[in-house]
């Protein structure tokens, strides 16, 4: 396997490059309206045979564009903001000489019919100046996948064994939905992504270096999940149903409805998801004692069922042409139930057992999340002056009930003694309020000013009650129980200045945030009160040499505040020798980020990133020599430096085979003097390789296969071995374009198995996890109602930053 995997990857890259080395020539033309040429118009080149997108370009200041292309029959689609989308007649291109396309004339939307049919096919990956866009519908293997599984396929994104999300080698990533934070905890965001279906997601936007307008709480960058929204007038909707098999039969369904008239828009959706799976964990560890080490060989099996109901209903009321108010109510009701069994051999070596520990654990975790939003958008003049206001309230209710039983046996299997038998109840309530406003002032055609503010108030109440099994029932355990309250207020204001000088542009921004937080461990009579004010500057420079060559540079300073639950000093036991523990002494981490990127022909890109983070918040696995236990907690490490290079290049192999490639290489250095009695100083060069192959079988049938390979990596005090994964899919589109049927297979070779060890001297363990990740899924999507396109309102809310931090 070690020789096979690199060989497969090498073939996947060498063959495409050779196949794509064919004769090409230039196709050029001009885009105009009835009076003048149109600069910065989007021009798309399509293959006339199957309407697949070949490449894109933008017109220069004179309205001119050009492509380099191989011989084929093509047609061109041109559009610009405020103008209609126009297609050219198909033409044969011999590639023996340059070809001049007749001028394409587009007209303003006000002079056109309200509706335009959309038939264009998006590429899998699109590179914009500040983001990389991963289009979901372009990958048939996404059929029936959850949002989290889709996220694992996104270039540069990794999701570890604990569902922690990293971007370009950096953790503490801010995940937003439709540009808005969900105000959910880290764990709840993951659960929400698990309950979202691929049919509900339009694209994933990857923003490595966000500016001052974005939340400062994003040291690892931003991943924005863009959901599908109806842009049509009249009634329409979509129905999605799917089933999957990993060892158990699972299912999902979703219904989206929309009704739009001239003065209002009413929309709603409901989605259901059920998944049953198994996970196996192996942990071999040795305690740190030099004279009398104890060896633990642990084998866990966890069978879990997760059910989720997502729903939303909202409306937009168009008071006038330029003034709109809206309201949105969203909810998520879920339940997680797991049964675990653990076997631990304890002895003086891994082969010499002195005693056996057998543990059973049951966990029931129902959660409810409701969020309410009222918003307003006003366009104040024809120059583009506008204001948006959002008011948000969110309530999160959860309850984590667990029962754990530990029994010791002799090496021969006979009963020795009862260990700890306990149960816990952990109700949690979180209230979040936020008010956000943004203002845009175009000074003239060259200069624009943006400004805004945000006020947020978060209150959490967590009550962890532990009881031990006694002769007469259950007895309250005051030593393990804990009541914890947390209150955080963040007041923020920002301004950005945009200037354009010919083909050059600059954006400079500054964000100020004042934070006041109070953590109160009522049981321990421990209060942690913090007040601090920070400035977060940002700078972005862009040079558009021509339609084919764009150079960007950006800088930003960011903060990452501790997740609310991580600040709680409670202890959550998995078994008698394995537990999680919070840390009320966590402090925010700060990072400085640089990025330089180059975009060629709107599809080939290279990006160089560097970040330095201090007081790095990270999860660690440590050992307690006194208890002989292994525990997971969150600590501040001294510093982390990451330098990365990302390459994105699509390759058209044949008329029926397109390949999208993303290669991430990065160097990471982590330092933490005095961590658990040792000095952590780890360095690692790592790489992630992602290749997405798309095959056009017929006009109605397509297929794809995705290959991912990651070399060894480090995360905090953890080291992960290399991992390989393959997905494949097949899709049939209905002739009337009303829907499709998708068949997908994930983790084809069952190689998605994280293998973890420690980079900390003296912390000797090896952990491996695997589960029912190989699955087959069948998905059906049907669209009904009016499908013609009408311009839609770009909506946003203010409840985006705080929910990420409720839990990790």
Per-residue model confidence (pLDDT) at position 479: 84
Per-residue model confidence (pLDDT) at position 195: 66
Task: Measure the CA–CA gap between 386 and 442, rounded to whole angstroms.
Answer: 9
Domain contains 122: no
Three-state SS string over 472-500 comes to CEEEECCCCCEEEEEEEEEEEEEEEEEEE
- Residue 232 phi/psi, 5-degree rounding, is -115, 155
Higher-pLDDT residue of 145 and 488 is 488
Asked if pLDDT for residue 685 goes beyond 60, the answer is yes
Identify whether residues 643 and 718 lie together within a single domain. yes
Identify whether residues 203 and 265 lie together within a single domain. yes
Per-residue model confidence (pLDDT) at position 118: 38
Element (H, E) at 189: helix 186-195
Identify whether residues 81 and 185 lie together within a single domain. no
Task: Measure the CA–CA gap between 154 and 206, rounded to whole angstroms.
Answer: 9
The arithmetic mean of pLDDT across residues 544-549, rounded, is: 81
Weakest mean pLDDT among 76-90, 143-157, 203-217: 143-157
Identify whether residues 42 and 166 lie together within a single domain. no
Q: How many domains does the chain have?
A: 2
Residue 18 — pLDDT band, cuts 50, 70, 90?
A: very low
Domain contains 121: no
Q: Any idea what DSSP says for residue 97? A: S
Range of the domain at 51: 4-115
Per-residue model confidence (pLDDT) at position 531: 94
- For 624-680, the pLDDT digits (tens) are 878 888 888 999 999 999 999 988 888 889 989 988 888 999 999 999 998 888 889
Weakest mean pLDDT among 229-238, 464-473, 790-799: 790-799
Per-residue model confidence (pLDDT) at position 792: 37
Per-residue model confidence (pLDDT) at position 569: 76
Residue 219 — pLDDT band, cuts 50, 70, 90?
A: confident
Element (H, E) at 8: helix 4-19
The arithmetic mean of pLDDT across residues 13-33, rounded, is: 65
Identify whether residues 605 and 566 lie together within a single domain. yes
Residue 366's Cβ-count burial label (10 Å; 0-12, 13-18, 19+) is: middle
Per-residue model confidence (pLDDT) at position 728: 92
- For 107-135, the pLDDT digits (tens) are 866 433 333 333 445 666 666 656 778 78
**Bridge partners for 27 per DSSP:** 67, 99
Identify whether residues 143 and 37 lie together within a single domain. no
Per-residue model confidence (pLDDT) at position 142: 65
Domain contains 208: yes
Asked if pLDDT for residue 414 goes beyond 80, the answer is yes
Per-residue model confidence (pLDDT) at position 571: 78
705 within 8 A of 725, measured Cβ to Cβ: no
Asked if pLDDT for residue 454 goes beyond 50, the answer is yes
The arithmetic mean of pLDDT across residues 561-590, rounded, is: 83
Per-residue model confidence (pLDDT) at position 229: 65
Number of C-alpha atoms within 13 angstroms, CB side, residue 498? 15
501 within 8 A of 508, measured Cβ to Cβ: no
Per-residue model confidence (pLDDT) at position 55: 80
Portion of the chain with pLDDT greater than 70, in percent: 87
Asked if pLDDT for residue 186 goes beyond 70, the answer is no
Asked if pLDDT for residue 349 goes beyond 80, the answer is yes
Domain containing 45 — which CATH number?
2.60.40.10
Per-residue model confidence (pLDDT) at position 119: 40
- How open is the CA angle 333-219-183, to the nearest 5 degrees? 20
Task: Measure the CA–CA gap between 563 and 808, rounded to whole angstroms.
Answer: 6
Identify whether residues 90 and 136 lie together within a single domain. no
Question: Quick one: which of 150, 152, 156, 14 has its CA closest to 664?
Answer: 156
Task: Measure the CA–CA gap between 514 and 177, rounded to whole angstroms.
Answer: 25
168 within 8 A of 784, measured Cβ to Cβ: no
Residue 791 — pLDDT band, cuts 50, 70, 90?
A: very low
β-strands 604-624, 629-652: how paired?
antiparallel
Identify the three-state secondary structure at position 717.
coil
The rounded Cα 710 to chain-centroid distance in angstroms is: 18
The rounded Cα 789 to chain-centroid distance in angstroms is: 28
Instruction: Report the chain's mean pLDDT, rounded to a whole number.
Output: 84
Question: Quick one: which of 382, 265, 270 has its CA closest to 316?
Answer: 265
Task: Measure the CA–CA gap between 740 and 722, rounded to whole angstroms.
Answer: 36
88 within 8 A of 107, measured Cβ to Cβ: no
Asked if pLDDT for residue 7 goes beyond 50, the answer is no
Identify whether residues 93 and 189 lie together within a single domain. no
Asked if pLDDT for residue 376 goes beyond 50, the answer is yes
Asked if pLDDT for residue 797 goes beyond 70, the answer is no
Domain containing 626 — which CATH number?
2.40.170.20
Per-residue model confidence (pLDDT) at position 19: 43
323 within 8 A of 379, measured Cβ to Cβ: yes
Weakest mean pLDDT among 387-391, 466-470, 786-790: 786-790
Domain contains 120: no
Per-residue model confidence (pLDDT) at position 629: 87
Residue 15 — pLDDT band, cuts 50, 70, 90?
A: very low
Asked if pLDDT for residue 324 goes beyond 90, the answer is yes
Per-residue model confidence (pLDDT) at position 580: 86
Higher-pLDDT residue of 52 and 361 is 361
**Bridge partners for 520 per DSSP:** 485, 527
Weakest mean pLDDT among 414-428, 526-540, 791-805: 791-805
Domain contains 542: yes
The arithmetic mean of pLDDT across residues 265-271, rounded, is: 91
Identify whether residues 413 and 532 lie together within a single domain. yes
Which alpha helices (H) appear in 47-145, and where do they start and end?
Answer: none
Q: Any idea what DSSP says for residue 89? A: P
Identify whether residues 81 and 230 lie together within a single domain. no
| CA–CA distances in Å: residue 432 to residues 186, 338, 365, 455, 515 | 15, 29, 21, 11, 15
Per-residue model confidence (pLDDT) at position 370: 93
Asked if pLDDT for residue 258 goes beyond 70, the answer is yes
Q: Among the three residues 115, 140, 168, which one is the final residue of a domain in this structure? A: 115
Per-residue model confidence (pLDDT) at position 601: 78
Residue 173's Cβ-count burial label (10 Å; 0-12, 13-18, 19+) is: buried
Q: Among the three residues 92, 115, 138, which one is the final residue of a domain in this structure? A: 115
Per-residue model confidence (pLDDT) at position 489: 95
27 within 8 A of 70, measured Cβ to Cβ: no
Identify whether residues 384 and 452 lie together within a single domain. yes
Asked if pLDDT for residue 378 goes beyond 70, the answer is yes
Question: Quick one: which of 693, 668, 690 has its CA closest to 681?
Answer: 668
Q: Among the three residues 67, 94, 115, which one is the final residue of a domain in this structure? A: 115
Domain contains 681: yes
Identify whether residues 636 and 745 lie together within a single domain. yes
Per-residue model confidence (pLDDT) at position 162: 59
Residue 144 — pLDDT band, cuts 50, 70, 90?
A: low
């Amino acid at each position: 396997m070690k020789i096979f995997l690199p060989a497969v990857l090498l073939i996947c890259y060498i063959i495409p490059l050779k196949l794509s080395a064919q004769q090409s020539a230039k196709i050029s033309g001009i885009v105009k309206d009835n009076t003048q040429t149109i600069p910065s118009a989007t021009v798309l080149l399509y293959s006339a045979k199957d309407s697949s997108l070949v490449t894109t370009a933008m017109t220069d200041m004179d309205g001119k564009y050009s492509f380099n292309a191989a011989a084929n029959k093509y047609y061109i689609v041109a559009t610009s903001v405020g103008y209609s989308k126009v297609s050219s007649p198909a033409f044969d291109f011999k590639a023996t000489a340059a070809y001049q396309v007749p001028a394409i004339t587009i007209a303003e939307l006000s002079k056109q019919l309200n509706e335009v049919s959309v038939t264009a096919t998006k590429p899998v990956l699109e590179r914009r100046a500040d983001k990389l866009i991963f289009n979901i519908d372009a990958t048939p293997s996404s059929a029936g996948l959850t949002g989290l599984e889709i996220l694992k396929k996104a270039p540069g994104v990794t999701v570890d064994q604990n569902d922690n999300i990293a971007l370009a080698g950096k953790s503490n990533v801010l995940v937003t939905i439709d540009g808005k934070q969900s105000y959910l905890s880290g764990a709840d965001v993951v659960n929400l992504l698990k309950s979202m279906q691929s049919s509900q997601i339009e694209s994933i936007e990857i923003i490595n270096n966000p500016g001052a307008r974005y939340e400062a709480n994003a040291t690892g960058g931003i991943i924005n999940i863009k959901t599908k929204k109806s842009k049509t007038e009249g009634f329409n909707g979509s129905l999605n149903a799917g089933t999957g098999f990993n060892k158990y039969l699972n299912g999902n369904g979703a219904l989206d409805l929309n009704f739009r008239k001239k003065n209002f828009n009413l929309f709603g959706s409901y989605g259901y998801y059920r998944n049953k799976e198994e996970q196996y964990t192996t942990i071999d560890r040795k305690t740190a004692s030099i004279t009398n080490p104890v060896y633990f060989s642990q084998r866990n099996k966890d069978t879990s069922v997760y059910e989720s109901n997502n729903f939303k209903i909202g409306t937009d009321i168009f008071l006038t042409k330029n003034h709109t108010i809206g309201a949105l109510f969203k909810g998520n009701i879920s339940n997680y139930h797991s049964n675990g069994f653990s076997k631990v051999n304890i002895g003086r070596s891994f082969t010499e057992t002195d005693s056996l520990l057998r543990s059973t654990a049951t966990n029931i975790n129902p959660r409810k999340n409701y969020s309410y939003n009222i918003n307003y958008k006003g366009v104040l003049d024809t120059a583009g002056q506008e204001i948006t206001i959002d008011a948000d309230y969110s309530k999160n209710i959860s309850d984590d009930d667990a029962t754990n039983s530990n029994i010791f046996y002799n090496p021969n299997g006979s009963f020795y003694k009862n260990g700890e038998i306990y149960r816990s109840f952990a109700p949690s309530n979180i209230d979040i309020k936020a008010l956000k406003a943004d203002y845009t002032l175009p000074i003239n055609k060259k200069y624009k000013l943006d400004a805004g503010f945000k006020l947020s108030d978060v209150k959490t109440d967590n009550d962890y009650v532990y009881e031990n099994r006694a002769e007469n029932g259950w007895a309250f355990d005051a030593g393990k129980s804990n009541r914890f309250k947390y209150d955080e207020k963040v007041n923020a204001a920002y301004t950005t200045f945009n200037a354009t000088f010919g083909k050059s542009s600059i954006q400079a921004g500054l964000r100020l945030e004042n934070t006041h937080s109070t953590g109160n461990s009522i049981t321990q009579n421990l209060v942690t009160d913090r007040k601090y004010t920070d400035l977060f500057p940002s700078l972005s420079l862009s040079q558009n040499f021509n339609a084919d060559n764009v150079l960007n540079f950006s800088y930003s300073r960011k903060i990452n505040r501790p997740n609310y639950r991580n600040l709680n000093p409670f202890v959550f036991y998995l078994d008698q020798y394995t537990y999680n523990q919070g840390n009320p002494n966590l402090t925010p981490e700060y990072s400085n980020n640089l990025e330089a990127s180059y975009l060629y022909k709107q599809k080939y890109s290279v990006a160089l990133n560097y970040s330095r983070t201090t007081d790095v918040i990270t999860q660690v696995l440590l050992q307690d020599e006194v208890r002989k236990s292994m525990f997971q907690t969150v600590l501040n490490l001294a510093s982390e430096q990451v330098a990365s290079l990302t390459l994105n290049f699509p390759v058209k192999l044949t008329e029926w085979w397109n390949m999208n490639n993303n290669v991430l290489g990065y160097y990471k250095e982590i330092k933490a003097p005095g961590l658990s009695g040792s000095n952590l100083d780890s360095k690692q060069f790592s790489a992630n390789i992602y290749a997405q192959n798309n095959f056009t079988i017929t006009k109605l049938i397509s297929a794809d296969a995705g290959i991912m390979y990651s070399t060894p990596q480090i995360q905090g005090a953890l080291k992960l071995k290399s991992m390989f994964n393959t997905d494949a899919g097949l899709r049939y589109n209905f002739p009337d374009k009303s829907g499709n049927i998708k068949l997908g297979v994930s983790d084809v070779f069952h190689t998605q198995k994280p293998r973890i060890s420690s980079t900390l001297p003296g912390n000797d363990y090896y952990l491996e996890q695997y589960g029912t990740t190989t699955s087959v899924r069948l998905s059906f999507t049907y669209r009904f109602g009016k499908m013609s396109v009408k311009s839609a309102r770009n909506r946003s809310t203010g409840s985006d930053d705080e929910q990420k931090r409720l839990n990790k």
